[in-house]
Structure 1
Amino acid sequence: MTKRYPFSLRLRVRGFDCDGQGRLRAACALRYVQEAAGGHLESLGFGFQKLKEEGMFFVLIGQGLRILRTPREGELLTVATAPVPARGARMFRETVLLDGEGNLLAENQTAWALLDFETGRPLRSSSFRHELPALGGEWTPFVDPSRIRISEAQEPCGGREVRLSDLDVNRHMNNTVYADAALDCFPEEVLCSAGVDTMLLRYQYQARLGETISLRRGREDNCFRVSGSVGNSACFSAEFSLKALATEDHG
């Protein structure tokens, strides 16, 4: 499978990335995805600092994560990634997590916008003049990450202040933190009895240090939704489903 992807890295699941049952947390799976994507750009010579010098940066607008089997503490993974040809103003990337035998554990699709570093205004994808080695073969995502639509949740469930430790190099809350914020809206007895099956995240506002994200939640059977706003601005929305651990462990 890795032949489809021009870049991969090997890593071991660390204990501090796992939950109380030794399972890789969904937010940390997204961090592994982010590490691979960033490592790929750095390996090509145009990481964050290079793009900053050129007056642009990438911002994530949506992503989907599907977990077939949750990796566990100590497990050795291959994280393989590849860009997908741009569609209009959006740029795309696919990343997979594989076990030691090359079996698919999780897959992730992301959609990105290219912004002007000074103004924050969107740029055309053609402004990115570097050549990216693309995904081999046809791209068949389980979700179009640029067109994620999530029904607004209604039940208030507190707020989440953006802390210094939440920030990334763009000086706003890192995209992976929103996954933790969404899961934390639901009680322990729900989340500890099952694993994340599919998670969708849509990003609308870049939350900054000291801002408070007002959270709302909702649930319909096995569909959990979270909406977050900063003041009058929609910030993010998330939707996820769970699956019984016995189902996951036995495929």
Structure 2
Amino acid sequence: MMKFKNPESTDLHFFKTIYQPKFFNGNVDLAHMLHTFQDLSGDHVEALGLGEEFKKLNQFFYVVMRMKGYFLGEIHEGETYTMVTYPLQASGIQMYRYGYILNSKDEPVFMLSTLWILMDSVTRRIKSTKVFKNRLLEVLPDIDSVLPLNDETLENFSIDEYDFKSVKDYQVVKEDIDSNGHLNNTIYLKMSQPLLQNEKIQNFEIDFEKECFLDEKLTLSLAKSGETYIIRGDKEDQSLSFKLKINA
């Protein structure tokens, strides 16, 4: 496994930024934190030559399918942290990108695993990662030797056993739509976190199942089992858009 470190700015395998947390009901604001990670990841792919021009040339865009985050230590309001991200080499149709947050002593206080795909910008179908892999190997010849942050694989988790209660409807507005033309992934967390009580979040995982677009309505439903909260978002056609599990 990769060791947590504060990398040198000249090391292109990694990208970092200053992170100043926001809070919501006593917890780190997950949407704000993941928006910072999203922006940092975007800056990294641009620095690697895998950004806007490369995507346009090869007719694709990046889509995150799954995320899993763990709080490893305390994050305090008013303090400044370092957020770091790095990718692994892609497989046939998917790729992992990791993130972590260090405190002023370079101790890890949060870690994040994310699983991405390439989506064809014309057909909106999953696309092979071949062009991405080849380009990444050109700019980072030793990318295959880079280690994951943990031994976990991000897999689809079941919510069939839970008894859900509808709690909220959400209408997608223009400000929610990102450059890919669909609901930005951070909005799912923005609409979900207020449904929790004030328990301290220990970890969370989210699966993004189906895109949402402007003016669509999502129905959010909540289930609770012990210290675990499960939130699902269903589209108007009853198809599942996302599911989120939070352990307190």
TM-score range with shorter-chain normalisation? 0.7 to 0.9
CA gap of 1:70–1:209, structure 2 versus 1, over 3 A, is farther
Tell me the amino acid that sits aligned with residue 243 of structure 2. S
What is the aligned partner in structure 2 of residue 240 from structure 1? 246
Cα contact 1:13–1:72 (8 A) shared by 2? no
Q: Match for 2:153 among 125, 144, 148?
A: 144
Distance in 2 between the 1:100 and 1:51 partners? 36
| 1:136 Cα offset (Å) | 6.2
Structure 1 unmatched runs, 5+: 243-251
Among the aligned pairs, what percent are the same residue?
21
Please give the per-residue CA displacement for 1:215-249, whole angstroms capped at 9, x wherever unaligned: 1110100111011111232100000111xxxxxxx
Matched, 1:7 2:23: no
What is the aligned partner in structure 2 of residue 246 from structure 1? none
Q: How does 1:167-186 map to 2 (within 5 A)?
A: 167-186=177-196
Cα contact 2:171–2:217 (8 A) shared by 1? yes
Tell me the amino acid that sits aligned with residue 178 of structure 1. Y
Q: Secondary structure at the match of 1:139?
A: coil
Please give the per-residue CA displacement for 1:9-37, whole angstroms capped at 9, x wherever unaligned: 232416xx33255x531222211221221
Q: Would you say how many aligned residue pairs link Structure 1 and Structure 2?
A: 233
Q: Secondary structure at the match of 2:204?
A: strand
| 1:57 Cα offset (Å) | 0.8
Q: Secondary structure at the match of 1:42?
A: helix
Please give the per-residue CA displacement for 1:109-146, whole angstroms capped at 9, x wherever unaligned: 1111111111111111113231154486532536422x
Matched, 1:215 2:220: yes
Structure 2 unmatched runs, 5+: none
Distance in 2 between the 1:91 and 1:39 partners? 17
What is the aligned partner in structure 1 of residue 68 from structure 2? 64
Higher strand share: 1
What is the aligned partner in structure 2 of residue 225 from structure 1? 230
What is the aligned partner in structure 2 of residue 24 from structure 1? 28
Cα contact 2:89–2:95 (8 A) shared by 1? yes
Distance in 2 between the 1:140 and 1:75 partners? 24
Distance in 2 between the 1:5 and 1:182 partners? 34
Cα contact 2:18–2:82 (8 A) shared by 1? yes
> TM-score normalized by structure 1?
0.84
| 1:49 Cα offset (Å) | 4.4
Distance in 2 between the 1:7 and 1:131 partners? 13
CA gap of 1:151–1:173, structure 2 versus 1, over 3 A, is same
Distance in 2 between the 1:176 and 1:64 partners? 13
Q: Match for 1:195 among 175, 196, 200?
A: 200
